[in-house]
Structure 1
Amino acid sequence: MNIAVIFAGGTGERMHTKDRPKQFLMIHGKPIIVHTIEHFQNHSEIDGIIVACIESWIPYMQEMAYRYRLDKIGKIVPGGETGQMSIYSGLKAAKEVYGLDDTIVLIHDGVRPLIDEKTITNNIQSVRKNGSAVTCAPVKETVILREDGKKVGDVVPREKSLIAKAPQSFILNDILAVERQAIADGYTDAIDSCTLMRDYGREIYIVEGSYENIKITTPEDFYTFRAISDARENRQIFE
């Protein structure tokens, strides 16, 4: 069984939105999070979806699930105080609803709506083969490490550099065990699931994905998503 956990617990302070969190901003008549979920809803190998979002927005998310026929959603649960705790909330719900021992879970940001079918498939295949997957994209510019705040330290070879994206995928029981250990240790603000698993000694395997698979965090990201969406729609019309 393959489950997607979509987490969208943030309020989007860097987006400067006035009346709604960034995951519920509208693009082409749909909230961003609906664009994201639809990729998993429409994927033949995804059996179920759990959504973790801001508690006060759960009724709205339930309405969106009904309106857009997102019938693979098995449960919508409140997010946590950090991204890690929102993911943990979703993972617990996934265990309750779909808790087979060999369940694969794909953890994905609700504000990464440019995920594609191939990347989802490759994540599932990597977990089946290796037990884990982190979606990455090559860097397009030189990466430098800062030294003493102002000086250039090491220059990282570009051919060795990747940008971690999502999904980040695991056997559900494995990631839950690490999450519970981390929380017991007082570690509740990991930057992402890949970092958390690495910190607890787990090997993570790379799945290369599209550079376009951006996370919508700032107004610039929002405009980029809209431009890419427009370009894709135009391509359908004119090709």
Structure 2
Amino acid sequence: MTNNVALIFAGGVGSRMGNKGRPKQFLEVHRKPVIIYTIEHFEKNENISSIVVVCKQDWIDYLKKLIVKFNITKVKFIIEGGDTGQESIYKGLKCISNNYPSESIVLIHDGVRPIINNELIDLNINAVKQYGSAITSCPPVETFVQVDINKKVKGVHNRNLSRLAKAPQSFYLKDILSVHDKAIADNYTEAIDSCSLMNHYGFSVHLIEGISENIKITTPIDFFIFKAILDANEQMAIFN
């Protein structure tokens, strides 16, 4: 059986949340931190064998307590992040490579992207097995334009030929680790995410259809949208 490892990135400080004390991944909704909502999806998926979390150093001990409190059993390693997202993911990949075979499938996911589901995780795993990669995506619902440095419109993108890259973004461990090694050798630090890094080094990336509510909690409005979705789902469960 292939090892399917979730790599959860939880190293952000939440500057855009306007919250100076507690990183956004540890903000609570109904007495449960956002990061736990996220981890629980991978914890409950029968195809995920283990979870590695990259965390801000000052919050590692607190996260360990949360893992015990919420009966999380699949988190095998919690490691300190780096100075950038790219560096933090690399440190997580190195941890995985030191403990799991190179043919393992890695699902890279934002700790502050808590609205996913079992089907989406399985789609990622199956797409990697079939195509070598899986980039969760959704079509844009609004028009977006390309501008120059003077903020003049240079072009309007065709929405039918555009997608929003979301997460999980999933790969064979050997492939995603190899591009990170190349990026270090090239001193390339401009990758926005794993998808862009793989594309930069010539790998073909396969898109899978995600869900529109798979938001990343970055601003206060995102946080309240997440809470509203949870409350709505709870109400629907009562009536069903």
| TM-score class normalised by the smaller sequence | over 0.9
- 1: CA distance, partners of 2:169 / 2:29: 25
SS at match of 1:107: strand
- Give 1:80 shift: 0.7
Matched-pair contact (CA < 8 Å) for 1:83–1:189: no
The equivalent position to 2:16 in structure 1, one of 11, 14, 17, is 14
The RMSD of aligned alpha carbons is 1.0
Match runs of 1:23-172 below 5 Å: 23-97=25-99, 99-172=100-173
- Give 1:43 shift: 0.4
SS at match of 1:224: helix
- 2: CA distance, partners of 1:86 / 1:149: 34
- Give 1:82 shift: 0.5
* 1:11-42 alpha-carbon deviations (Å, 9 max, x no partner): 01001113210000001111100000000000
Match runs of 1:210-225 below 5 Å: 210-225=211-226
- Give 1:150 shift: 2.6
Q: Where has structure 1 moved over 6 Å in runs of 4 or more?
A: none
Q: TM-score, normalised by structure 1?
A: 0.97
Identity among equivalent positions (%) equals 51
What amino acid sits opposite 1:87 in the alignment? I
Matched-pair contact (CA < 8 Å) for 1:85–1:189: no
What amino acid sits opposite 1:28 in the alignment? H
1:192 aligns with 2:202: no
What amino acid sits opposite 1:227 in the alignment? A
SS at match of 2:79: strand
- Give 1:147 shift: 3.3
Q: TM-score, normalised by structure 2?
A: 0.97
- 1: CA distance, partners of 2:67 / 2:98: 20
- Give 1:189 shift: 4.1
Q: 1:66 to 1:54 in 2, by over 3 A?
A: same
Q: What corresponds to 2:238 in structure 1?
A: 237
What amino acid sits opposite 1:169 in the alignment? S
Q: How many residues align?
A: 238
- Give 1:149 shift: 2.7
Q: What corresponds to 1:207 in structure 2?
A: 208
Matched-pair contact (CA < 8 Å) for 1:112–1:214: yes
SS at match of 1:203: coil
Q: Which runs of 5+ in 1 are unaligned?
A: none
Q: Which runs of 5+ in 2 are unaligned?
A: none
Matched-pair contact (CA < 8 Å) for 1:2–1:45: yes
What amino acid sits opposite 2:9 in the alignment? F
SS at match of 1:6: strand
- 1: CA distance, partners of 2:36 / 2:98: 23
Matched-pair contact (CA < 8 Å) for 1:136–1:165: yes
- 1: CA distance, partners of 2:190 / 2:156: 28
